[in-house]
Structures are given as C-alpha cells and as structure tokens.
Amino acid sequence: MAPLLHLRDVALTFGGQPLLEAAEIAVSAAERVCLVGRNGSGKSTLLKIAAGLVDADRAERFLQPGSTIQYLPQEPDFTGYKTSLAYVEAGLGPGDDHYRAAYLVSELGLTGEEDPATMSGGESRRAALARVLAPEPDILLLDEPTNHLDLPVIEWLEQELKSLRSAMVLISHDRRFLTALSRATIWLDRGMTKRMDKGFGEFEAWRDEVLAQEELDRHKLDRKIAREEDWLRYGVSARRTRNQRRLGELHGLREQRRTARFAVGSVKLEASEAQTSGKLVIEAVNVAKAFGSNVVIKDLSLRVARGDRIGIVGPNGAGKTTLINLLTGALAPDSGTVKLGVSLEMVTLDQRRESLDPATPLGDALTGGGSDQVMVGDTPRHVIAYMKDFLFQPLQRRTPVGALSGGERGRLMLARALAKPSNLLVLDEPTNDLDLETLDLLQELLADYQGTVLLVSHDRDFLDRVVSATLISDGDGVWTEFAGGYSDMLAQRGRGVGAKVRVAGKATVAEAALATAAPALVNKRKLSFNEKHALETLPKRIEVLQAEAAKLNLALAGDLYTRDPKLFAKATARLEEVTREIGQAEERWLALEMLAEEIGG
C-alpha cells in the first residue's frame, strides 16, 4: 500500500553536530507507528519536519494529495485565543463538525471557558488534544500526548485513538500507552532510523539484538585493524614494496572506526544512602484534611515500614501532593495524627521542578555555586565527571537551566536528588520527560534502594515495576490501599482510576454548546463505521469475556496453586487482563449507546 506520508533521506545539523542523517518515516492509511529514541536524538524535530513545520538541510517529503495532517506539539501556542473552546474550534476546517469539538472539550474535562493564559499544564495538553482530534485527520502526529495527563484521561485517550481511522505517529515515554496503540516501531538512533513492523511490545528485545550485533561488528573491525597494523609493521611485502593499496585500506578502516557513531552511553544512577532508618517510617492515624468544603483526605490510617514502596494514584485534583505533604510532616492534618520514625533523612523530587532557577548555570545547580565539586553522599566528585554520569556534555556546564530540554531538566533533578544522603525518597511524578532507557535505570535504582519510597505517578508500567503497594483515591477524600502495583490494584478493585467528579452547577460552555447545537449541525454527526460495528459487537464480546472470567475464577478457587503454581500465575494474570477488558468494553459500549441516543443514530 502506498504511504500517505513518506519522509526520506532527512539530514539536519545543529551547531556543527549532525542531528539527523538519512532518517526516514513512512506511514500508510490507518497505520499506527511509534517513534522512539533517546532524549535529544531528534524525535520531536523529525516529527516537525514530517508536519512541514521545520525545514531540513536535506529531505524528500511526499504527502498524498488531499491528505490532512494534524500535529500535536509539546508546547502549544494559545496566543490570540480568549477561551479553550475558541482555541479548539479554530483548528476545524470548513467541513468539520463543531459538535465534535465541543464533545471532545467536555470529554477531556474542560469547561470550554478556561483562559489559555492561566491554564495548567494538564489543561493546556487536553485543549491541544481536543484541537487535533476534532477534525479527524488522515494523519495524526502526536508528540508526548500523555504528558501532564492523569490516569483517567490517559485511559480515555487510548480508547479514543483506537476508535479513530486516522494514521498515527506517536512519541511517548509511556510504555503501556505505546504497547496498546502501536503496530510498527521506528527507532531513531544516532541520526538514523531503523524500522520494525511490530508494536512497541517487541521493541526492546529487538533493540538489544541490534546493539549486540553492532558490538560484535565493532569487535571484528578492531581485530581487522590490529591484523593490518601487524602486517604493516612486520609483513615482508610491506618492507619490500610498501603495498600502497593495502596501506590505503588500513587508513580507510581507521577512518571508519574513528567516524563511527556508537550507541550513546547510559545514565549512571546511584542513590546516596544515609544510615538505616527505624523500622517504622510513617504512621498516620485517622488523618483528615479539607480546604473549605473540599475534603481531600478523610479518616486515613496508614503504616509505612522501612523498605516499603508505596505508589499513590488518583485523578488530577484528588490531593496526591497534599497527601504526600501530610505523610512527610510538611503539612499539618485538620484531625488525626502523623508520626514519623527515627533517623529519617528525606529527599524529595518535586513534580514541577520548582527548585530549579532558570537563570542558574547547570554546573552551579549541581554544586550550589562557587565550587567544582559535587558532594555525592560523603564523597566529593568533580562536577564535569558527575555531569557525564547523567549524559551532560562538559560544554553544558554554563548552560542556563531554562535552556535545557524537559528531559535534561528531569535528569538534572535526579542528579541533584540522588547526590543527597537519604533513607526516604519522595518522588512526585519522577517519570515526566525521561526517556525509556533512563526510566529503566531509575527502576533498577529503586529496586536496589535500601530505604523507603513514596511515589506519585501516572505511569502504569512504572508503577507495576516499582511499587509494593498502591494507595488510590476513591473520591470524597477516601483513600484505599491495595497490595502490589497498578495492575494488581486493578484486578482487586475491578476498575481503574476514575475521573474527579465535577461539582454540580451551571452548565459549562462546552456542555452548553452540545445542548444547544443547531439541529442541522447535530444531524451532521453520524456514527462512524467503526462506532456502529463496536456498538453491535461489544455486547457479545462482553458476554464472552464474562464467561471466560467465570471459568478463571472457578479454576483459581480450587487447588490449582498447589497442583501447578505456574499455571496458577498464568491464570491470575489472564483474569486481571480479562477484568480490565470487560471494564473498558462496558465503558466504550455505554459511551456509544449514549452518543447514538443523542444523535438519533
């Protein structure tokens, strides 16, 4: 099938350094491709070139005539728009449906009357998503669509994107999001792209095979160079005739070795651990906290022991950061008691990177200024050497923090936090802007960390890999603890994180637009083929899944664990998956049924 969009032989140089060399993207109708690579590898730049927003030094770009593209930037420009709904509607074309724009604004939890100048990061991201999704383009180019979103919106977005017929190219650090949506993977590495016609779930094993083969090829090249040098020094023909052809080949091999762009190194993460804390780290008894009529925490009792890794999840506005502040003693409860254990040394990684002054040079942000040394625990390290551990170049020592990318700021915050001795790590959204390799290393660090961890995150995969218990908001200030990670909580609870309920009151601008849409405009909105098909087939699908769940429950209730522990574990994992699929299918069917009623379809 001919591609809708084909970008080939892309080359771009920044500051004398080649960023892209012979990169390529091809996407066909309805194809879902994820674009992956290290922070700073040029993914966002390549996506902008594909969108036609940036000119490359060299590129061949083909777009199927008549095809439409919508591009989601990491930092949308709201200049000139008075409300979020006005911004979304400005992205519609002459034949597009204004009903869908209002519908998406409402579904994404916006009122439509937000002032773009004062919107939070999460509100900005949701408005930008509504703008690119409303026209239902032929091609969607999405750069970090889950950034600043909470779990309910991320899971809603997954289902919405699955229902679209648009082709997609996705950049994201959210493994589960990429695994759920992608069907092909493009790996941007050292300026060049490699493609695998499988989803992200297969990527990491494939990447490791490619890197292992590169290492083998480099070893062979080094040995060949050594043999040729030996011949040059001691070979008889070399002494007699000075074989110029073979000498030229040796110089060519040396040049090949010199100019080869080998894989970028890994971040070296190592936490500076303080003396061991007491066995009891935090004990909260009947704690409550409210801000006016907004009850954030109600009658919470919780014990955190040394070595626990507690994940805290909930929708935006549920009070996750407030809960962290209460548990660590930074905020006093309205009632109840919070007791902290002995010998606690706490280090906090804040969500908004607020402790970073944009004007401070990178080196001074690490040393505190006036020194070349970084104290890593009790050991002094030269600032350049410590910067290299976190993949910063020596020339970046004088770079202002404000000029760093989001991923670089994330690595800087980790470098600062991990240099301090601690036995209690408090991590508020630590995964924001970090690439997949750095997330892997952070996960390994937390696995080896001997202290206690409190983790706030919307990254489901990271939670599953790191935490030993999950504390989730059930609304109205109620928090419930479940053993295990996010998937374990999902299996026990039967549902994921629900969106924060909007306080009853006057209709929002978006809801009013839906309710008062002109009949002719409403009638224009019809169920798509995929929506009709889903509406007809989902009830049967739900029945099949429920029957499978019943069988699995019956099997697990017996002595399966005694007879075959491996089969028991497999059945448990499948039951979790089936339970999640039932919930998603029911929510999707209900949404389609309501939509069909609204438009009379």
CA dist 338 and 331 (Å) reads: 10
Residue 509 vs residue 210, higher pLDDT: 210
pLDDT at residue 519, as a whole number: 45
Assess contact for 172 and 125: CB atoms under 8 A: no
CA dist 486 and 469 (Å) reads: 9
CATH number, domain of 30, equals 3.40.50.300
Q: How many domains does the chain have?
A: 3
Do 557 and 473 reside in the same domain of the chain? Answer: no
Least confident of 16-30, 335-349, 441-455: 441-455
If residue 205 lies in a helix (H) or strand (E), which one and from where to where?
A: helix 203-234
292 has pLDDT over 80: yes
Assign 346 to helix, strand or coil: strand
Looking at residues 358-387, what average pLDDT do you find?
A: 85
Type of residue at 484: G
Find, among 247, 219, 221, the residue nearest to 233 by Cα.
247
Residue 556 lies in a domain: yes
Do 463 and 534 reside in the same domain of the chain? Answer: no
Do 440 and 530 reside in the same domain of the chain? Answer: no
Do 396 and 533 reside in the same domain of the chain? Answer: no
Token digits of residue 4? 């809708």
Do 571 and 484 reside in the same domain of the chain? Answer: no
Q: What percent of the chain is predicted at pLDDT more than 70?
A: 83
Assess contact for 87 and 75: CB atoms under 8 A: no
pLDDT at residue 267, as a whole number: 58
Residue whose structure tokens are 């080094």? 222
The model's pTM is: 0.70
Do 388 and 488 reside in the same domain of the chain? Answer: yes
Residue 253 lies in a domain: no
CB neighbours of residue 308 within 10 Å: 16
330 has pLDDT over 80: yes
Do 413 and 532 reside in the same domain of the chain? Answer: no
Assess contact for 88 and 130: CB atoms under 8 A: yes
User: Which of 205, 228, 257 marks a domain boundary?
Assistant: 205
Task: Tell me the CA distances in angstroms from 101 to 92, 98, 510, 511, one per residue in order.
Answer: 8, 5, 9, 11
Do 293 and 408 reside in the same domain of the chain? Answer: yes
pLDDT at residue 236, as a whole number: 46
Looking at residues 420-439, what average pLDDT do you find?
A: 82
N residues, the chain: 601
pLDDT range class, residue 203, cuts 50, 70, 90: very high
Do 314 and 401 reside in the same domain of the chain? Answer: yes
CA dist 384 and 374 (Å) reads: 9
Task: Tell me the CA distances in angstroms from 347 to 357, 422, 453, one per residue in order.
Answer: 19, 6, 10
Looking at residues 380-391, what average pLDDT do you find?
A: 85
Mean pLDDT estimate for the chain: 82
CB neighbours of residue 575 within 10 Å: 18
pLDDT range class, residue 533, cuts 50, 70, 90: confident
500 has pLDDT over 60: no
Residue 240 lies in a domain: no
pLDDT at residue 160, as a whole number: 93
39 has pLDDT over 60: yes
Assess contact for 400 and 359: CB atoms under 8 A: yes
Residue 195 lies in a domain: yes
In sequence order, which residues have a C-beta less than 8 Å from that of residue 293 and are 6 or more positions away? none
pLDDT range class, residue 57, cuts 50, 70, 90: very high
Looking at residues 152-157, what average pLDDT do you find?
A: 91
CATH number, domain of 556, equals 1.10.287.380
Looking at residues 148-161, what average pLDDT do you find?
A: 90
CB neighbours of residue 585 within 10 Å: 20
Residue 333 vs residue 557, higher pLDDT: 333
Task: Tell me the CA distances in angstroms from 289 to 315, 348, 481, 582, one per residue in order.
Answer: 17, 21, 18, 35
Residue 253 vs residue 332, higher pLDDT: 332
Least confident of 230-234, 303-307, 582-586: 230-234
Do 287 and 375 reside in the same domain of the chain? Answer: yes
CA dist 23 and 19 (Å) reads: 10
Find, among 390, 358, 386, the residue nearest to 371 by Cα.
386
Chain centre distance of CA 103 = 26
Residue 578 vs residue 224, higher pLDDT: 578
Residue 442 lies in a domain: yes
User: Which of 184, 205, 226 marks a domain boundary?
Assistant: 205
pLDDT at residue 253, as a whole number: 54
Least confident of 29-33, 164-168, 456-460, 496-500: 496-500
CA dist 85 and 81 (Å) reads: 9
508 has pLDDT over 70: no
Assess contact for 121 and 99: CB atoms under 8 A: no
Task: Please give the angle made by the CA atoms of 149, 150 and 155, to the nearest 5 degrees.
Answer: 95
Do 168 and 23 reside in the same domain of the chain? Answer: yes
Task: Tell me the CA distances in angstroms from 235 to 5, 238, 248, 250, 574, one per residue in order.
Answer: 55, 5, 15, 14, 66
Least confident of 312-316, 349-353, 409-413, 549-553: 349-353
pLDDT at residue 521, as a whole number: 41
Least confident of 45-49, 317-321, 496-500: 496-500
pLDDT at residue 515, as a whole number: 60
pLDDT range class, residue 498, cuts 50, 70, 90: low
523 has pLDDT over 50: no
CB neighbours of residue 58 within 10 Å: 13
pLDDT range class, residue 247, cuts 50, 70, 90: low
pLDDT at residue 518, as a whole number: 44
503 has pLDDT over 50: no
Torsion sign (Cα): 353, 355, 360, 363: negative
Please compute, for residue 167, the number of CA atoms within 13 A of its CA located in the half-sphere on the CB side: 21
Least confident of 421-425, 567-571, 589-593: 589-593
CA dihedral 25, 27, 32, 36 (to 10 degrees): 0
pLDDT range class, residue 192, cuts 50, 70, 90: very high
525 has pLDDT over 60: no
pLDDT digits (tens, 9 = 90+) for 256-286: 555 555 455 555 666 666 567 778 999 999 9
353 has pLDDT over 70: no
Residue 424 lies in a domain: yes
Looking at residues 75-83, what average pLDDT do you find?
A: 92
Looking at residues 204-215, what average pLDDT do you find?
A: 86
pLDDT at residue 446, as a whole number: 82
pLDDT digits (tens, 9 = 90+) for 94-151: 888 888 999 999 989 899 999 998 888 888 999 999 999 999 999 999 999 998 888 8
Whole domain around residue 585: which residue ranges?
A: 526-599
Find, among 30, 149, 26, the residue nearest to 530 by Cα.
30
Token digits of residue 153? 């919106």
CA dihedral 171, 176, 182, 186 (to 10 degrees): 50
CA dist 68 and 156 (Å) reads: 24
Residue 160 lies in a domain: yes
pLDDT at residue 143, as a whole number: 94
Looking at residues 472-490, what average pLDDT do you find?
A: 89
Find, among 308, 309, 312, the residue nearest to 429 by Cα.
312
pLDDT at residue 568, as a whole number: 80
Assess contact for 283 and 269: CB atoms under 8 A: no
First-last CA distance in the chain: 33
Find, among 21, 39, 20, 86, the residue nearest to 431 by Cα.
39
User: Which of 171, 205, 239 marks a domain boundary?
Assistant: 205
Most confident segment among 2-11, 114-123, 208-217, 504-513 = 2-11
Do 435 and 333 reside in the same domain of the chain? Answer: yes
Residue 118 lies in a domain: no
